[in-house]
A and B are shown apart, each in its own frame.
Chain A
Amino acid sequence: MNLIALAGNQNSGKTTLFNELTGTNQYVGNWPGVTVEKKMGHLKNDKQLMLLDLPGVYSLSPYTLEERISRKYLIEQPPDIILNILDSTNLERNLYLSLQLMETGLPIVLALNMWDLLKKQKRTINLKKMEYLLSVPVIPLSAVKKENISGLVTQVKKAAQEPPKYTYPEYDNRLESALEMISQQIQDHVAPSKLRWYAIKFFERDEKVIQKIKLTSHQQQEVEDIITTAENIFAESSDSIIVNARYDYVAQIMAMCVIDRNDFQMSLSDKIDRIVTNKWLALPIFVLVMWLVYYLSIQTIGTFGTDWVNDVLFGQWIPDITSDLLNTWHVSAWMKGLILNGIIGGVGSVLGFVPQIMMLFFCLGLLEDCGYMARIAFVMDRIFHRFNLSGKSFIPMLISTGCGVPGIMATRTIESEKDRKMTIMLTTFMPCSAKLTVIAMISGTFFTQQSWVAPSAYFISMLAVVGSGIFLKKTRMFAGPPQPFVMELPAYHFPRASNILHYVWSRSKSFVQKAGTIIFASCFIIWFLSNFNWQMHMVDQNHSILKSIGSVIAPIFAPLGFGDWRTTVATLAGLIAKENCVGTLRLTFGSNSAQSFVQTLTSTFTPMAGYAFLVFNLLSAPCFAAIGTMYKEYGDKRWTVRAVFYQTCLAYIVALSIYQCWLILVGNFTTTNILYATMGVSLIIYGLVVKKEKSSVKKQALI
């Protein structure tokens, strides 16, 4: 069996090509860094060829997680062939990695992806010349449009039978002499096929390699002398010498192979980016776009579907048919209660939101696939950097809009340990599909026809992330400069229907599966607790176990405006899964139809109490699955408890401030109310403005 490793820059289309070649369905995101682990699969129709999708990298330096994974694999478990995927529209930077891959000495095939876009840019690449100059096969293709995939497969099969041989790219003569001398020093310690790779790494003073290859002290001194001499000759540091040598080589290839007929014209993507990523317009455009997304999904188009599911499907059809069946079968009253109120009422109230969720993911899918979401990370990096945060933290947050669990896992790409820990703590503030049910319920119940409510939930999450970042960066635990964020912006293109449908389908399917399992089990427990007392007798809700538990905790939420035992248990049930907030409210308010449920809620709470409930559940501790993932990623109980405590405290302070300030604004206030509002707002101002950075306090003390 032959092993073929797919290597290339981030967002060069490796995963799309991997899916096409293997027939698998790996997630393809239109932003860099979607793959952070190597993934394997057989070539379609040929089990003898195993393909590996390596994470996208720009170099084989050992700095980022992706680079470490790719490099470790290529050097320690070398594949039979490297299939190097290059973005034809960014050939110069992509060839820089190709040279490094060629330095490993492994057989290589170059696949020039996005060939279709290159034509649109009015550029031509002389493939024959490139093949001749590099002495490796070069295949043009478009993975997205499935163009020339068969040509690539043929070439890969050919290369598997007869691995292509090439001479190493040769750099400046003076550098080559230095590398030759280093090779002589290390030749007894490494395999001949790897000699050039290790010589270059020694020249770059690569710490991992120096630690791994144990040279004698004499050899170490010799190598160091060679490097120092080269540095004196070039008047540059050794790693800069190598970088420049590679770019000089790439420049030669570009000059000889690429014909550009459109040098001074901006592409359409560039023109759009001038507006969309403009310093002043970027943020208002982003706010407008997200407002539109939430408005369409939660308060207009999505609502039509939800209303039908709630009022007709789960309001009449299913309960009526089930009730008739149960009556025919002479099922006992408690079982009827469990099925109709507990399961159909609870699970149905959650499933009712499927149309809105589908609409939301349809809109987010469009934005991601056309390339806009990648711009958001870029725009957010500019804002984040002002507050000492890194834009790299924003990628996990984009992933968290589906579910917090993969969002937390995606923080593995963040190299700075402090930034990573902070991002894990903040990423679940983003509204996931489960929290969307709470947003939709509150906006649909208390704020009908008010288009600001649903989008405001998204922006409160963003503000919580930025505000928390500002505050946490001032603490000793997270202080430090932000990590640099390098990101490639993919060219805009029309969204592909298959991608969008897959995006919507997969997320909706997960939501429905969750409703049929965890939400079902939760509704079962809630129904039991709300119908039995501690002596295990069936009682009415007001004497139930659930009420006794809720009543003890409810006073904590009284300052937030929803100190009712039912909202309290809904919040607690939200820890299992956030959808439970909705299911539990539906069960405990015991309403038979969606309309009467809305009426009962609006007569019990003020709209702003409902909004405070939304804000608290949006920002407070996430579900158990996300908390468990936080624990796995932190690898430490104390950090997990710290994160959950911080999230819950912040949720409480924000919800308290919003509710109490609103009471003051509408003139309905007391001394206690003013005290609460002052406390909440003061804490926020202290954290954002008054609190001084720990590191700067130390520096001043030293001065």
Chain B
Amino acid sequence: MVATIILGVLIFGFFAYVVYQKFIKKNGSNCHSCVDIGCPLADTSKMKRKK
């Protein structure tokens, strides 16, 4: 039972985090994946500075 609760918290928590990061947070879907696949607009040095 304890293991189920812990796993539930972890999985539901990660699910909520992903949904928030990708769909709710403003500018959440940042350009990191895009720069990797050749977006001509992505500026890696600017991203590094933001980090």
Contact = CB atoms under 8 A, between A and B. Distances in A.
A402 B44 CA distance: 18
B43 A39 contact: yes
B45 A339 contact: no
A414 interface: no
Interface of A is mostly: helix
Contact of A517 (B7, B22, B34, B45): B22
Given A520-B14, A521-B22, A625 B29 contact: yes
Contact of B36 (A29, A33, A34, A506): A506
A520 B38 contact: no
A410 B42 CA distance: 11
Interface string B6-24: 0110010011001101100
A329 B3 contact: yes
A35 B41 CA distance: 7
Interface residues of B, number: 28
Contacts of A406: 34, 37-42
B46 interface: yes
Interface in A314-333: 326, 329-332
A458 B16 CA distance: 36
B41 A37 contact: yes
B42 A27 contact: yes
Given A24-B44, A39-B45, A521-B19, A402 B11 contact: no
Interface in A1-52: 22, 24-27, 29, 33-37, 39-42
Interface string A486-527: 000000000000000000001101100110011011001000
Given A27-B35, A517-B18, A410 B43 contact: no
Interface residues of A, number: 47
B37 A403 contact: yes
B40 A34 contact: yes
B45 A40 contact: yes
A35 B34 CA distance: 14
A140 B29 CA distance: 42
A330 B1 CA distance: 7
Nearest to A29: B38
B12 to A, nearest CB: 9
Given A36-B41, A331-B3, 17 more contacts: A22-B45, A24-B45, A25-B44, A26-B43, A26-B45, A27-B40, A29-B38, A41-B45, A326-B3, A331-B7, A399-B40, A409-B39, A412-B40, A433-B37, A510-B33, A513-B33, A628-B29
Interface of B: 1, 3-4, 7-8, 11, 14-15, 18-19, 21-22, 29, 33-46, 48
Interface of A: 22, 24-27, 29, 33-37, 39-42, 326, 329-332, 335, 338-339, 343, 399, 402-403, 405-406, 409-410, 412-413, 433, 506-507, 509-510, 513-514, 517-518, 520-521, 524, 625, 628
